[in-house]
């Protein structure tokens, strides 16, 4: 059964969508079956996967409000090699629609239940706010991957995010945990980057990924061509870093599974 990970951070511009697209493509490259869910009304993960968000017949919005099932809304990312549950501006209406529905926090979890066996990993690109959409993602997930820049404000907001995840876990999803912290847009030449990185290692030694994602022009350019960096420029430092992250994620899952059976 698929492991479901929400890629979340209440702060915008930290690399959530970039991580979703490139981690999904890198996991596909390791022969894993992957579904990427775009849960951000901006629809950036949709366009970055090569799908036109303006011409969608169905989207994640229709799934959440019960107008279609998940399979009917799926698209395939030809460049990424993964299945995509796309989003567009229609999703902004979901906030209001969900408030009037029964089990409003669990709509995505129930929608995923019939297809989880078909995938190894399901990644959810969350909006940069603790909205009802993000709550749905967290309730549907086994763990949270938190991309963050190594800067002061990111570190300041991390404790708030961790507290929010813990509250939602306690109330709605007891199995939810922080899967990993991912340092993005990493530039070791900046002293603050090294200082914040050292603090993360001290306070989150078991969850901080060893892999860091560097500042990389190719990573920034690839979405405008509707493809992951692995396809756009597989020799780029960004593409290589996300392949390393996929390997680390898989190894960590294997180690956790082994520990659970011992």
Domains delineated in the chain: 3-261 (3.40.50.300)
Q: Which residue has the higher pLDDT, 181 or 203?
A: 181
pTM of the complete model:
0.95
Asked if residue 142 has pLDDT above 90, the reply is yes
Q: How far is the C-alpha of 44 from the C-alpha of 88, rounded, in Å?
A: 8
40-77, pLDDT tens digit by residue?
A: 999 999 999 999 999 999 999 999 999 999 999 999 99
Asked if residue 34 has pLDDT above 90, the reply is yes
194 — pLDDT class (breaks 50, 70, 90): confident
> Average pLDDT, stretch 6-16?
91
13 — pLDDT class (breaks 50, 70, 90): confident
189 — pLDDT class (breaks 50, 70, 90): confident
Asked if residue 154 has pLDDT above 80, the reply is no
Mean pLDDT (the chain) is 93
Among 67-81, 98-112, 192-206, the range scoring the smallest mean pLDDT is 192-206
258 — pLDDT class (breaks 50, 70, 90): low
**Cα end-to-end distance, the chain, whole Å:** 20
Q: Which residue has the higher pLDDT, 261 or 7?
A: 7
DSSP 31-93: T--EEEEE--TT-HHHHHTT--GGG-SS-HHHHHHTSS-HHHH-EE-TTT-SEEE---GGGGG
Q: Which residue has the higher pLDDT, 262 or 240?
A: 240
Asked if residue 262 has pLDDT above 70, the reply is no
């Amino acid at each position: 059964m698929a492991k479901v990970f929400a890629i979340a951070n209440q702060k915008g511009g930290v690399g959530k969508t970039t991580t979703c697209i490139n981690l999904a493509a890198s996991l596909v490259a390791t022969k894993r079956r992957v579904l990427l869910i775009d849960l951000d009304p901006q629809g950036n993960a949709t366009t970055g996967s090569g799908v036109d968000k303006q011409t969608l017949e169905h989207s994640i919005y229709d799934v959440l409000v019960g107008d279609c099932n998940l399979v009917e809304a799926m698209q395939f990312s030809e460049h990424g090699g993964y299945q995509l549950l796309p989003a567009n501006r229609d999703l902004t209406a979901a906030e209001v629609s969900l408030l009037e529905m029964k089990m409003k926090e669990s709509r995505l979890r129930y929608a995923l239940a019939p297809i989880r066996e078909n995938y190894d990993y399901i990644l959810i690109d969350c909006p940069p706010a603790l909205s009802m959409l993000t709550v749905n993602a967290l309730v549907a997930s086994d763990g949270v991957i938190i991309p963050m820049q190594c800067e002061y404000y990111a570190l300041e907001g991390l404790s708030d995010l961790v507290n929010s995840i813990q509250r939602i876990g306690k109330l709605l999803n007891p199995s939810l945990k922080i899967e990993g912290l991912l340092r993005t847009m990493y530039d070791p030449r900046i002293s603050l980057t090294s200082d914040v990185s050292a603090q993360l290692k001290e306070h989150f030694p078991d969850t901080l990924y060893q892999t860091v994602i560097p500042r990389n022009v190719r990573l920034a350019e690839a979405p405008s061509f509707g493809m992951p960096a692995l396809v756009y420029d597989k020799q780029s430092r960004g593409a290589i870093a996300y392949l390393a992250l996929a390997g680390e994620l898989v190894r960590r899952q294997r180690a956790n599974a082994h520990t659970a059976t011992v």
